[in-house]
């Protein structure tokens, strides 16, 4: 770990507060060094737009796929596993673009509603308040095993690695495309099985969101804090960089 080199970023189980603690420990030894970590609070030099950056990048990728393969987001059905920082924002932005998020689960299960779940209050309930998805009203309760069998256009695993595998669900998943929003949610063998079934996978590596956000947002966020650009410019610049 070093300033502008080997820069830690938040992932599962971490948030801006955790990154603030990490920055504090590093700064106690090396002096205040805001560039030593990313994902920290704005008050400590964090970047505008950082919290939702990964989820936003995933949805930008979905938009590009929708355009290239004639699979419009508006009116399409999305099934989402995970309501952490990435999953919650993917569901929110997809909903804003007109997609119907028909199923969402967290670690304890979740909800299914073919008419579409009410995402804004669900976001507040599950992401902001950290309450179980299954306790939200507006759908039928489901388990994390059941979610993979729900027919949809967009299947978005946004939680753990290896959840799509040959033993559990690779042969029965019923979707038009798998959009990986977690780290390696599809095992290599499962990826091959999906390919044989004609189900494409938009991998996290292809999206390159994780590679783009720490450095791009560090620079863009600094400019925004200095008043040189707005947060709208931060978002649009990220969108352009991810679409190249």
Strands 100-106 and 77-81 turn out to be parallel
Q: Are 238 and 212 in contact (CB under 8 A)?
A: yes
Give me the DSSP letters along 165-215: -TTTTTTT---SEEE--SSS-B-HHHHHHHHHTT--EE-HHHHTHHHHHHH
| Per-residue confidence (pLDDT) for residue 53, from 0 to 100 | 82
Q: Rounded CA gap, 115 and 173, in Å?
A: 20
Question: CA–CA distance from 151 to each of 107, 113, 176, 185 (Å)?
Answer: 21, 12, 9, 19
Classify burial at 191, counting beta carbons within 10 Å of its beta carbon; exposed 0-12, middle 13-18, buried 19 or more.
Answer: buried
| Per-residue confidence (pLDDT) for residue 206, from 0 to 100 | 52
53-207 belongs to which CATH class? alpha beta
**What is the block-wise mean pLDDT of the chain (244 residues), using blocks of 10 residues?**
75 87 92 86 82 88 94 97 94 98 97 98 96 96 97 96 96 96 94 96 63 51 49 63 61
Write down the pTM of the prediction: 0.83
| Per-residue confidence (pLDDT) for residue 48, from 0 to 100 | 76
| Per-residue confidence (pLDDT) for residue 222, from 0 to 100 | 47
CA angle 239, 205, 10 (to 5 degrees): 75
Give me the DSSP letters along 140-174: EEE-TTGGGGS--SEEEE-S-TT-B-TTTTTTT--
| Per-residue confidence (pLDDT) for residue 218, from 0 to 100 | 53
| Per-residue confidence (pLDDT) for residue 109, from 0 to 100 | 97
| Per-residue confidence (pLDDT) for residue 33, from 0 to 100 | 85
CA angle 38, 79, 198 (to 5 degrees): 105
| Per-residue confidence (pLDDT) for residue 26, from 0 to 100 | 92
| Per-residue confidence (pLDDT) for residue 209, from 0 to 100 | 45
110: part of which helix (H) or strand (E)? Answer: strand 109-112
């Amino acid at each position: 770990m070093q300033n502008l080199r080997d820069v830690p970023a938040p992932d599962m189980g971490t948030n801006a507060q955790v990154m603030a603690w990490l920055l504090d420990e590093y700064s106690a030894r090396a002096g205040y060094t805001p560039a030593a970590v990313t994902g920290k609070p704005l008050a400590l030099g964090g970047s505008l737009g950082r919290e939702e950056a990964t989820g936003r990048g995933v949805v930008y990728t979905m938009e590009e796929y929708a355009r290239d393969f004639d699979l419009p987001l508006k009116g399409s059905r999305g099934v989402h596993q995970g309501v952490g920082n990435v999953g919650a924002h993917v569901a929110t932005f997809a909903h804003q673009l007109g997609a119907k998020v028909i199923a969402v689960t967290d670690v304890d299960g979740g909800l299914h509603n073919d008419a579409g779940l009410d995402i804004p209050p669900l976001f507040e309930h599950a992401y902001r308040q950290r309450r179980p998805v299954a306790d939200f009203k507006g759908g039928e309760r489901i388990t994390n095993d059941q979610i993979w069998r729900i027919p949809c256009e967009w299947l978005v695993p946004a939680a753990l690695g290896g959840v799509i595998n040959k033993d559990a669900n690779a042969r029965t998943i019923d979707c038009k495309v798998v959009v990986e929003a977690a780290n390696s949610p599809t095992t290599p063998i499962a990826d091959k099985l999906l390919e044989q079934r004609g189900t494409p996978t938009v991998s996290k590596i292809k999206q390159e969101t994780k590679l783009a956000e720490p450095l791009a947002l560090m620079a863009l966020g600094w400019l925004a804090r200095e008043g040189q650009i707005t947060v709208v410019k931060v978002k649009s610049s990220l969108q352009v960089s991810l679409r190249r």
